[in-house]
Chains A and B, each alone.
Chain A
Amino acid sequence: MASVKISKLEKQYGLLKVLHSLDLEIADGKFVVLLGPSGCGKSTLLRMIAGLEKITSGDVFFDDVRVNDVHSKDRNIAMVFQNYALYAHMTVRKNMAFSMRLKNIDKKIQDEKVAWASSILGLDDYLDRLPKELSGGQRQRVAMGRAIVRDPDVFLFDEPLSNLDAKLRVQMRTEIKDLHQRLKTTTVYVTHDQIEAMTMADEVVIMQDGRIIQSGSPMEIYDNPNSLFVAQFIGSPGMNIIECDVAEKAGVKSANHESLCLPLPSDAKVEVGQKIFYGIRPEHLTANKEPSAESNSSLTIEPGVVRVVEPTGPETHVYSKLAGQDVCSISRERITWSPGEAIHLQPDLQHVHLFDGQTQVAL
């Protein structure tokens, strides 16, 4: 096992710079997820850690050993690719044993390792099949089996679940996390799916346009997004964002959007006339049929109109129109809403996120 450190790492394809001076430290045994929209450079970063991509400048360290010039085959890493990249002409068993065969490891130990991996992954009955005789989920598992038999220092995953159907994806998500908890191997996992990131990561690293925007534990990032981009990227349904101007009336500041007048937390660092983005997560909007009496702000918000109601079981998502803006609120109470009905929304001021209108940085 190893820690991974990346220092001032850059990547350029011709004139196109895809990674801008990245710094990142991954502690030994951690599960780190690189999260970002497609094209932001996640795979490129992962492939540079793997040694599959030339480093333009900067360094990669494994346990403080600089590995820039170490060939992939000597880095003792294992990688699971998005398209699985199985050896089509080899059986499952041979696929898994390939790395050990190259190292001339004793045949008996090879068999033991394969048996161990296949029992963990539930592949016992498929060892003598060819990849083409397996389902997508099974192929995915073979790719993982090939990785774990190696006792790698670092596990690298590049969107391993994106070709699976929704149900299998959820199942494999749990399996990968479980596997990590058992093996405790340092893992770098690339995905564009924020739910995967939230559910699996010890630490999430959010990337945008070749830069690291924010990193931290999933809940840290969820609770304190440092920019509008992160706020919108994390969470499903996403955070409600309303573009507002700060105004003051009778000594109380509020965020105004057309006729809508939203309350601001008392400690908000905003000035009158400033353009801001007002963000509030759906679960921090309380929905009522009547204007709330015990509202903790001096402002009451004009009622919205219910558009769509989505009960998911434990909670109900209500999409409504508020002064021309689409707003989502989540409630765990079983209130029955019908489209067209008036809805009174009240933000929980402790959980309001404000972002500068220009720089989009959290205020």
Chain B
Amino acid sequence: MPSSFFKPTLRYLVSLIVVAVFVFPIAWFGLTSIKPISAVFNKDRVVVFDFKPTLENYHVTVLGGEKASMVGGQSASMGTSGKGAYDGRGSILSSVIIAVASTFLATAIALLAAYALSRMRFWGAQGYLNWVLSQRFLPPIAIIIPLVFIFHDLGLRDTHFGIIIAHTLINIPIALLLLKSFFDDVPVEIDQAAMIDGATRFQCFYMVVLPMIRGGIAATAVLCFIFSWTEFILSLFLTNTIRTIPVKITTFVTSTGSEWGYISALGTAAIIPGFIFILLVQNHLVRGLTMGAIKD
């Protein structure tokens, strides 16, 4: 067989397998979310496609609808649920508020810091950078107890603002490091050319350098957003009534059983905002925006 046929085919097959490995759990999760309970909990066999799809789980978790009574002859209520215990609307709203706000804050603060660290030489710059990064080495669980007390004393416990601050702080080091590397890619001559053209340092920052690293900013924002969107431990400890989606989902695992249908429905729905966000910025995600500024 000619290699011109064989090689692309092989490459295609391998990439297909790799994609399948990554997509399978998500697909199964999504599939579970539209299965009736009888299909989820079938003792005898694994139900793949032969079930009657239902939007019941979404109806309850995402739209806050009432539980429909019986599906497939089995009781749908296995948990010790009060009314609205499976209503995820508040969680979705909280997650969106927290993720968007903390992403914005972390990116904005890290941008200013990263520009300074990339462009200005000052005493202890490297030490400062190392110190900021070292904050990220600490697992959140290590600081959770003092943090709970501090937040309690400051009245930040169980507030959106509190979690926004927590997520922002956790995100800043990684955002700073990333953005600094993007700034470092822009030659300083660009800043100098702008200043000779009559720009102040700040004009040079927001009129020239910032637009040149749009892609980097988008990439950083995506990372911050995803972190905040999926963060669990801080949200769990710092809130009681405000529940972000990851925390909310764990409450679907109760002493009497796990509501796999609801878990997978809310989980699948939770993928969507991140997905939309990435779609919006993906055009900017390509690096190489600085191309053409300098010699090749």
Contacts and interface: CB of A to CB of B under 8 A. Distances in A.
Contact of B189 (A72, A83, A130): A83
A72 B195 contact: yes
A71 B192 CA distance: 11
Interface stretch (B151-159, B197-205, B230-238): B197-205
Interface residues of B, number: 25
Given A79-B193, A85-B193, A99 B198 contact: yes
A113 interface: no
Interface-central residue, B200, B208, B290, B292, by most chain A CB under 10 Å? B292
Contacts of B212: 87-89
Interface-central residue, B194, B200, B295, by most chain A CB under 10 Å? B295
Contacts of B295: 82-84, 136, 139, 163
A102 B294 CA distance: 22
B194 A98 contact: yes
A132 B187 contact: no
B192 A52 contact: yes
Contact of A84 (B198, B289, B291, B293): B293
Interface-central residue, A79, A85, A98, by most chain B CB under 10 Å? A85
A88 B289 contact: yes
Contacts of B200: 73
Interface string B181-220: 0000001011011111111100100001001101000000
Contacts of B290: 88
B197 A98 contact: yes
Contacts of B195: 52, 71-73
Contacts of A130: 292
A94 B197 CA distance: 12
B189 A81 contact: yes
Given A79-B192, A79-B193, A87-B190, A131 B293 contact: yes
Given A131-B292, A139-B292, A146-B197, A87 B208 contact: yes
A78 B292 contact: no
A23 to B, nearest CB: 25
A166 to B, nearest CB: 16
B197 A99 contact: yes
Interface-central residue, B189, B212, B289, B293, by most chain A CB under 10 Å? B293
A150 interface: yes
A85 B192 contact: yes
A73 B199 contact: yes
A120 interface: no
Interface string A120-136: 00000000001111101
A131 to B, nearest CB: 4
Contacts of A163: 295
Contact of A133 (B189, B198, B292, B296): B292
A134 B295 CA distance: 11
Contacts of A75: 196
Contacts of A83: 187, 189, 294-295
A213 B240 CA distance: 77
Contacts of A134: 292
Interface string A261-279: 0000000000000000000
Contacts of B197: 73, 98-99, 102, 146, 150
Nearest to A158: B189
A330 interface: no
Given A89-B211, A102-B203, A84 B294 contact: yes
A150 B198 CA distance: 10
A322 interface: no
Contacts of A150: 197
Contacts of A52: 192, 195-196
Contacts of B214: 89
Contact of B198 (A50, A103, A136): A103
Interface string A127-157: 0001111101001000000100010000000
Contacts of B293: 84-88, 131-132
A139 B291 CA distance: 12
Contact of A77 (B189, B196, B211): B196
Contacts of A74: 198
A75 B195 CA distance: 10
Interface-central residue, B187, B190, B197, B291, by most chain A CB under 10 Å? B197
Contacts of A87: 190, 193-194, 208, 212, 293
Nearest to B294: A83
Contact of A86 (B192, B292, B296): B292
A74 B189 CA distance: 17
Interface of B: 187, 189-190, 192-200, 203, 208, 211-212, 214, 289-296
A-B interface, 4 closest residue pairs, ranked by CB to CB distance from nearest: A132-B292, A88-B293, A131-B292, A85-B189
9 contacts: A72-B196, A81-B189, A81-B193, A84-B294, A85-B187, A87-B293, A99-B197, A139-B292, A146-B193
Given A83-B189, A84-B295, 5 more contacts: A72-B192, A72-B195, A73-B200, A83-B294, A150-B197
